[in-house]
């Protein structure tokens, strides 16, 4: 099955170069010079990957990233942020919103293609044959992307869902911040571990009565603990 990519980039030369190279690699490519036209394309298309420039002429790429990560129609869409900015704060914000990878201009087209292929392989390789996880009062339907606590629905973002799933599947085992960055975000420790702490805080707020099941192991990371 041919993978579909949406390139959102306002610089024509970069956009044309990416279009050409990804089509040459066998991808189906859609492209847009700004956020509004990208949203229009997304009405009738569900790309596997969105290569998203941070600085667009009509809206922030971060806003578009946030939109995608909070829409259930795009749960399986990965986002690579593409930008001229290299400051750590931009990487932090992008990853906190749910971006899967981050590439700074100028960049190697070949490297970008390889990163895209890694993300696609990650999504097409089954991680677990089980379609649900049930621990105590927590129930996760992995196929439907639904979470219930005491039979009440809890709304999580795609990244929060992945984080909770990861912690539940490794119940009782300490997960370092670097491990969580690599396994949940799919990225190395070049990204600050504060990203993990921010998402754990948000996840606890949404879990409410079972928030204490996520324990902080001071100086190490986090562990999900619950009596069977």
Residues 94, 47: Cα–Cα separation, whole Å: 19
Tokens standing for residue 198: 């921010």
- What pLDDT sits at residue 126? 52
Under a CB-based contact definition with an 8 Å cutoff, are residues 157 and 203 in contact? no
In a 13 Å sphere around the CA of 93, the CA atoms on its Cβ side amount to 15
Q: Which two tokens stand for residue 90?
A: 């931009």
Q: What domains sit in the chain, N to C, each tagged with a CATH number?
A: 4-124 (3.40.50.2300), 132-224 (1.10.10.10)
* For range 126-155, the mean pLDDT: 83
User: What pLDDT, on the 0 to 100 scale, is given for residue 189?
Assistant: 41
Q: What is the pLDDT of residue 127?
A: 53
Sheet of strand 78-83: strand arrangement: 28-32, 4-8, 49-53, 78-83, 101-104
Most confident of 25-39, 58-72, 115-129: 25-39
**227, pLDDT greater than 60:** no
pLDDT at site 223: 93
pLDDT at res. 157? 84
Over residues 123-132, the mean pLDDT reads 63
Q: Which residue has the higher pLDDT, 219 or 18?
A: 18
* CB atoms near residue 131 (< 10 Å): 10
Asked whether the predicted pLDDT for residue 54 surpasses 90, the reply is no
What's the average model confidence in pLDDT over 20-28?
Answer: 94
Residue 129 has pLDDT above 60, yes or no: no
Per-residue model confidence as pLDDT tens digits over 169-201: 999 899 998 888 878 877 544 556 778 888 899
- For the entire predicted model, the pTM comes to 0.62
What's residue 114's pLDDT? 87
Average pLDDT over residues 209-226: 90
Does residue 183 or residue 147 have the better pLDDT? 147
């Amino acid at each position: 099955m041919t993978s579909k990519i949406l390139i959102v980039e306002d610089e024509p030369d970069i956009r044309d170069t990416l279009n050409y190279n990804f089509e040459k690699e066998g991808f189906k490519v859609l492209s847009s010079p700004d956020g509004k036209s990208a949203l229009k394309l997304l009405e009738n298309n569900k790309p596997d990957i969105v290569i998203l420039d941070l600085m667009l002429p009509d809206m922030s790429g971060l806003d578009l990233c946030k939109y995608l990560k909070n829409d259930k129609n795009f749960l399986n869409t990965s986002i690579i942020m593409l930008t001229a900015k290299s400051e750590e704060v931009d990487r932090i914000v992008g990853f906190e919103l749910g971006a899967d990878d981050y590439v700074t201009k100028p960049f190697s087209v070949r490297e970008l293609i390889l990163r895209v292929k890694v993300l696609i392989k990650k999504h097409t390789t089954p991680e677990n044959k089980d379609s649900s996880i049930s621990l105590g009062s927590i129930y996760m339907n992995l196929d439907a992307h639904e979470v219930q606590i005491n039979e009440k629905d809890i709304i999580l973002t795609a990244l929060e869902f992945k984080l909770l799933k990861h912690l539940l599947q490794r119940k009782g085992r300490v997960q370092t911040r670097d491990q969580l960055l690599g396994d949940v975000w799919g990225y190395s420790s070049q990204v600050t571990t504060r990203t993990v702490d921010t998402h754990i805080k948000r996840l606890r707020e949404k879990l409410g009565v079972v928030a204490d099941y996520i324990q902080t192991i001071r100086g190490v990371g986090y562990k999900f603990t619950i009596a069977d």
